[in-house]
């Protein structure tokens, strides 16, 4: 089974791909930073991605590429991304800037996604959304999310994007944070709960939430995302009208699918 057919939520998948510390999000079962091996000889991307262990391998391949570009030990790079302080220490020790690390990480993810596409491990809309999202989430936001320290209640910032897919992805990411803030749950937990109906039911039971609360939070979050995009000039006229009507009228499952995939479900 390819990852394109899995119902993994966009943000949880993106985090596991984009950062070496994705092992924190996925349970930390296998990864241990190590100086062994040459990062310029990156590990192969799995031919199929069916579970979190294989997703983790995809993320680690991206780390190898970034470490090779920066000419640093991949284990030290992984540890340097665990917190803001760790990153500051890492960049000082290595004579790098945070911007250089960020560029290398983003490039590493893009190249790894290219490999995954060639192998058939990732395809379809998930691949397209991941490529857009890699450019949208700041490195610091990704690190905070993986470490469980992100604050979903901060004011969203619309980042300039090109193309409708990237704009829709950004709407979904803003909506996820906004809904998480409203519901009082970590955005990572809400993202993981979007994987399937059973996971969402477990979250609602654990957090004492009901269907109406979740539905209202999701609709309001999507309205917030579309409003931010509209203010930035990404949506206007008939497209804006259709988006607003869809958020008001579509069933909850279609809206949840928007958060899972980063694609606005308009019909």
Q: What is the CA radius of gyration of the chain?
A: 18
154 occurs within a structural domain:
no
Question: Do 176 and 82 reside in the same domain of the chain?
Answer: no
In the predicted structure, residue 264 carries a pLDDT above the cut 70: no
Q: Which of 8-22, 93-107, 185-199 has the highest mean pLDDT?
A: 93-107
Of the residues 99, 114, 146, the one at which a domain ends: 146
Tokens read off for 203:
């979250």
Is 138 in the same domain as 12?
yes
User: Are residue 171 and residue 140 in the same domain, yes or no?
Assistant: no
Can you state the angle between helices 98-119 and 139-146, rounded to 10 degrees? Answer: 70
The answer on 105 and 237 residing in a single domain is: no
The pLDDT assigned to 208 comes to 95
Residues of the chain with pLDDT > 70, as a percent, come to 67
Whether residue 267 lies inside any domain: the answer is no
Q: Are residues 128 and 13 in the same domain?
A: yes
d(CA 233, CA 160): 10
Q: How far apart are the first and last CA of the chain?
A: 27
Let me know if residue 123 belongs to a domain.
yes
Q: pTM value?
A: 0.66
Q: Are 16 and 8 in contact (CB under 8 A)?
A: no
Q: Is residue 158 in some structural domain? A: no
54/170 same-domain check = no
Indicate whether 211 belongs to any domain. yes
What total number of domains does the chain contain? 2
User: Which structural domain, as residue segments, surrounds residue 119?
Assistant: 3-146
Say if residue 93 is in the same domain as residue 14.
yes
Q: Where is mean pLDDT largest: 80-94, 115-129, 175-189, 215-229?
A: 215-229
Asked if the structure places residue 157 within a domain, the reply is no
Residue 221 has pLDDT above 90, yes or no: yes
Spatial distance between the Cα atoms of 74 and 59, rounded to a whole number of angstroms: 12
| Band (40; pLDDT cuts 50, 70, 90) | confident
Are both 24 and 133 inside the same structural domain? yes
- The predicted structure's pLDDT at residue 8: 45
């Amino acid at each position: 089974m390819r990852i394109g057919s899995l119902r993994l939520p966009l943000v949880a998948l993106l985090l596991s791909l984009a950062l070496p510390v994705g092992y924190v999000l996925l349970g930390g079962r296998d990864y241990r930073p190590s100086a062994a091996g040459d990062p310029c000889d990156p590990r192969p991307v799995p031919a199929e991605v069916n579970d979190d262990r294989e997703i983790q391998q995809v993320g680690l391949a991206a780390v190898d590429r970034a470490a090779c570009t920066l000419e640093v030990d991949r284990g030290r790079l992984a540890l340097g991304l665990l917190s803001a302080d760790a990153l500051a220490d890492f960049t000082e020790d290595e004579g790098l800037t945070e911007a250089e690390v960020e560029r290398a990480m983003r490039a590493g993810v893009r190249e790894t996604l290219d490999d995954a596409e060639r192998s058939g491990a990732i395809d379809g809309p998930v691949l397209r959304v991941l490529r857009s999202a890699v450019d949208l989430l700041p490195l610091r936001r990704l690190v905070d999310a993986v470490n469980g320290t992100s604050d979903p209640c901060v004011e969203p910032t619309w980042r300039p994007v090109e193309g409708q897919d990237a704009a829709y992805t950004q709407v979904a990411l803003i909506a996820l944070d906004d809904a998480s803030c409203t519901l009082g749950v970590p955005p990572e937990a809400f993202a993981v709960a979007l994987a399937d109906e059973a996971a969402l039911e477990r979250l609602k039971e654990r957090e004492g939430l009901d269907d109406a609360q979740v539905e209202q939070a999701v609709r309001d979050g999507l309205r917030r995302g579309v409003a931010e995009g509209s203010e930035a000039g990404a949506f206007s006229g008939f497209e804006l009208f259709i988006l607003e009507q869809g958020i008001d009228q579509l069933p909850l499952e279609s809206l949840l699918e928007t958060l899972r995939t980063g694609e606005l479900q308009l019909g």
